Chain A
Amino acid sequence: MIINHPLLGPRDAAEFVYLGDAALIDRPDPSVADAAEKFHEYGYLRDNPAGEHQELWYHEQGDRSWLVVTRNTLSHEISKVELARDVAVARGRGR
């Protein structure tokens, strides 16, 4: 499998480590009333879609960047690759 890194171009999947669902970017706010419930969901509950899935990959044998890869779990087709930092900033993280 080839992952088309946004900065480095096409790279072999062997250079990457897979983490899982990109929902991990959306860490809950610990100060809200139902924080314990939210963190339980964040830590343990995952969707398992048959189809398009956003997931975190780490370019360990490369530039050590985190990526958000949009991959179809049925066909393994990769439709989008973004830097996780850019995704986090777009979702409201400061920097």
Chain B
Amino acid sequence: MVDLNLKAEPFLGHYSKGFKGVDLREIDDNSLVSLALPLGEESKAIKAIEAAFGIPVPDVGHSALAKNGAMRLLRLGRDQLFVVFLYEGMDSEPYIADKLAGAVYSTDQSHVWVTLEISGPSARAALERICPIDLNPDAFAIHQLARTNMEHLGTIIIRTAPDTYLLMSASSSAGSFLHAVETSIENVA
């Protein structure tokens, strides 16, 4: 039998580039598990998540970071959360599901999303060209998030620091998404 030695490559090949006032790089060391809260049992599911991870479940449109920074809960809707966490193995869904003991429905979404981090003093100006969300610091606080679309591509945007945002979009259109973001940056850089 042929001894295959396959190694997963990141969608954008560890992309990292500096622009005038903006840095853009691919984040590729996170796993992502989607949690759906069962209808009518949302409060039980939320208690189970808080007990398992020690992170208060945020309100819709907000995210919450673990104390050690290795896990972030994204509350995308009333009945949906994403768990984004540093994890090496390929079994991220069973790893999360075991801790929640059937209180939620979970699916592995690790290889479905591509993540870009955009940062720097001109990051907000660059995003204003493609992001329909009000990113004014008063309207979009740190850890706030929104699922929206950028250049018709569905995108989750999370503000992680004063001038830093994570952008998550479908990995199947990772190249097009990167092109859209680069173009928007070049329009202001």
Give me the interface of A with B, judged by CB distance under 8 Å.
7-12, 14-15, 61-65, 83, 85, 95
Contact = CB atoms under 8 A, between A and B. Distances in A.
B80 A63 contact: yes
Contact of B61 (A8, A12, A95): A8
A7 B60 contact: yes
B39 A62 contact: no
Interface of B: 39-40, 60-61, 76-78, 80, 132, 134, 146-149, 154
Nearest to B40: A95
A11 B149 CA distance: 11
A64 B156 CA distance: 13
Contacts of B132: 11-12, 14-15
Contact of B148 (A7, A61, A83, A95): A61
12 contacts: A7-B61, A8-B61, A9-B61, A11-B148, A12-B148, A15-B149, A63-B61, A63-B76, A63-B80, A64-B77, A85-B78, A95-B40
A62 B148 contact: yes
Contacts, number: 40
A9 B144 CA distance: 12
Contacts of B134: 10
Given A7-B60, A8-B60, A61 B77 contact: no
Given A7-B78, A14-B132, A63 B147 contact: yes
A64 B148 CA distance: 11
Given A12-B132, A62-B147, A85-B78, 9 more contacts: A7-B60, A7-B61, A8-B60, A8-B146, A14-B149, A61-B149, A62-B148, A63-B78, A95-B40
A85 B40 CA distance: 12
Contacts of B76: 63
Contacts of B147: 61-63
Nearest to B76: A63
A52 to B, nearest CB: 27
Contact of A63 (B39, B40, B60, B149): B60
A25 B147 CA distance: 26
Nearest to B155: A61
